[in-house]
Amino acid sequence: MRTDFGLLLKRFAFSFWFILALVSVGVIVTLILQPESVPDGALRTGGTILMVAAFATFALNFFTTELQPQLGQYILSLLFLFLAGVVLLFFPRQGLVLPNFEGDITPSLVTLSLFFIVAIGSGWVGFLLVKESPALNSQAAVKYFTALSVLVPLAVLAFFIAYTVSEGSAVISWRFISQRSDLLRGTVGIYPAIMGTFWLIIGATLFAVPIGVGAAVFLTEYARRKWIKQLVGITADCLWSTPSIVFGLFGYIFLVPRITGHSTLLAGQIILAAMLLPLTIATSTEALMSVPDEFRSGSLALGSSKWWTIRTVVLPSAIPSIVTGVLLGIGRIAGETAPIMLIAVMSHTSAPNFFSLEAPYFHIGPLFREIDALPYRLYSIYKAGVGGSIQEAWGTAMVLIALVLLFYGLGITVRSYFRRKRGW
């Protein structure tokens, strides 16, 4: 009796979902083909309906636990939630629909919070249900839910990149990345910012990596006492979690007066190196510790010295992981705006130029001059209205992402090269 009723409900819920699915696919296709033809209001209403539906279905399932929900249904509903979120939050071309915190609670705030509540709640309830459900293979359930967790970051990343590219690609051109902005000549370009960020990263890496790897070698291969390792570990953690603006402030008050008294590339490199250092130490320590001890004893038993062992066996085996760690750090510092704002950058400076074709071919002068940097550039275009249009900001963002990806690509190459040699 009860089961029949439940089955009915389920059939109903499922067909409801099915129709909604068709409708929303239609809406999204229309949106992609003819964005202007769909009014924002309709979108928001549609999105809200989708969510309410999702919520209702979940509530239904929640109160009828005996019904043994279908895994596919949950995955489907989560997918719908995701679609609803996309429709609600991102498609209106006028910009984001954000809550107005000054006034009353606006409808958009309601939908927004509803979205997150539903998303989190439904995920949780769904997981519980599937986990408890005897009908389902719980191994499979875990597999699907973990697979879902892979999809989310992938989707977020893909979305970020797609959005940035779609907004920014309009302004990207060879001129844009090879020229500097000049009001008098009417050119628009971010070449100085690219080179500034490039040299910041190079400098910070050159400062941080030798010190960080050196510290890690000492900690893992030489230090006997546990408290030294713990002390350094805690210090590194503290440094890593220190807000970046504090680094900037420190650089501004302590470093800048001791270098030239004004913003310099060098100050930026040093401060970013200080930010990069803790992660380098942590990942290098981890990497060195994971090198099997058999390698060490094998090498020492052949009569080699400790340093030879470290240099020829331990470090090469650890390099892939060290590189990965450093890259994560670079990813972070490349986009830092707060610290360099105080100590290194100035709008509309020219690119640092270390090399020349005449003697002495290499100059250290640029180290002591201001630079421009991509994240700062982005900030100033968007917030302070310096420079050009919003499109330019997206273009800059795109270049910044590309630059970070370039470093990642380099790192992955190095890593796979050593992995191929390693293979344990």
Partner 1 sequence: MDIKQSDKFESGYSDEVAIEINGLDVYYGEEQAIQNISLDVLRKKVTALIGPSGCGKSTLLRAINRMNDLIDGARVEGEIKVDGQPVYSRDVQVSKLRQKVGQVFQKPNPFPKSIYDNIAFGPRAYRHQLMKSSKQLANMVPNFFKRDGERSPIDGRPMDEVVRDSLEQAALLEEVEDKMHESAMDLSGGQQQRLCIARCLATKPEIILMDEPTSSLDPISAGRIEDLIDDLSRDYTVLIVTHNMQQAARISDYTALLWLGELIEYGETERLFEQPDKELTERYITGRVG
Which C-beta is closer to partner 1: that of 285 or that of 317? 317
The tokens of 109 are what? 């705030």
Which C-beta is closer to partner 1: that of 93 or that of 420? 420
8 Å CB contact between 48 and 121: no
The tokens of 423 are what? 């293979």
Q: How far is the CB of 221 from partner 1 (least distance, A)?
A: 11
8 Å CB contact between 197 and 400: yes
Q: How far is the CB of 301 from partner 1 (least distance, A)?
A: 4
Which C-beta is closer to partner 1: that of 166 or that of 416? 416
Alpha carbons within 13 angstroms on the beta-carbon side of residue 161 total 10
Which helix (H) or strand (E) segment holds residue 369: the answer is none
CA angle 231, 206, 411 (to 5 degrees): 95
Which C-beta is closer to partner 1: that of 302 or that of 384? 302
Q: What is the DSSP string of 45-71?
A: HHHHHHHHHHHHHHHHHHHTGGG---H
Q: How far is the CB of 296 from partner 1 (least distance, A)?
A: 8
Q: How far is the CB of 209 from partner 1 (least distance, A)?
A: 22
Residue 274: what residue type?
Answer: A
Q: How far is the CB of 224 from partner 1 (least distance, A)?
A: 7
- How far apart (Å, rounded) are the C-alpha atoms in residues 201 and 387? 24
- Strands 180-182, 187-190: parallel, antiparallel or unpaired by DSSP? antiparallel
Q: How far is the CB of 328 from partner 1 (least distance, A)?
A: 23
- How far apart (Å, rounded) are the C-alpha atoms in residues 154 and 142? 19
Q: How far is the CB of 279 from partner 1 (least distance, A)?
A: 25
- Give the three-class secondary structure for 291: coil
Which C-beta is closer to partner 1: that of 160 or that of 307? 307
* CA end-to-end distance (rounded Å), the chain: 60
* Contact footprint for partner 1 (CB under 8 A): 224, 292, 294-305, 308, 312-313, 316-317, 420-424
Q: How far is the CB of 304 from partner 1 (least distance, A)?
A: 3
Which C-beta is closer to partner 1: that of 227 or that of 362? 227
8 Å CB contact between 320 and 415: yes
Which C-beta is closer to partner 1: that of 159 or that of 308? 308
Which C-beta is closer to partner 1: that of 185 or that of 226? 226
- How far apart (Å, rounded) are the C-alpha atoms in residues 170 and 256? 38
Residue whose tokens read 């099997």:
292
Residue whose tokens read 């420079």:
387
Q: How far is the CB of 318 from partner 1 (least distance, A)?
A: 11
- How far apart (Å, rounded) are the C-alpha atoms in residues 35 and 31? 4
Which C-beta is closer to partner 1: that of 143 or that of 311? 311
Q: How far is the CB of 286 from partner 1 (least distance, A)?
A: 18
Q: How far is CA 124 from CA 13, 79, 145, 309, 406, in A?
A: 19, 15, 11, 50, 38
Which C-beta is closer to partner 1: that of 163 or that of 308? 308
Which C-beta is closer to partner 1: that of 101 or that of 424? 424
Q: How far is the CB of 281 from partner 1 (least distance, A)?
A: 23
Could you tell me what percentage of the chain is helix, strand and coil, using 3-state DSSP and rounding each to the nearest 5? 75, 5, 20
Torsion angle of C-alpha atoms 289, 291, 294, 295, degrees rounded to 10:
-130
8 Å CB contact between 367 and 265: yes
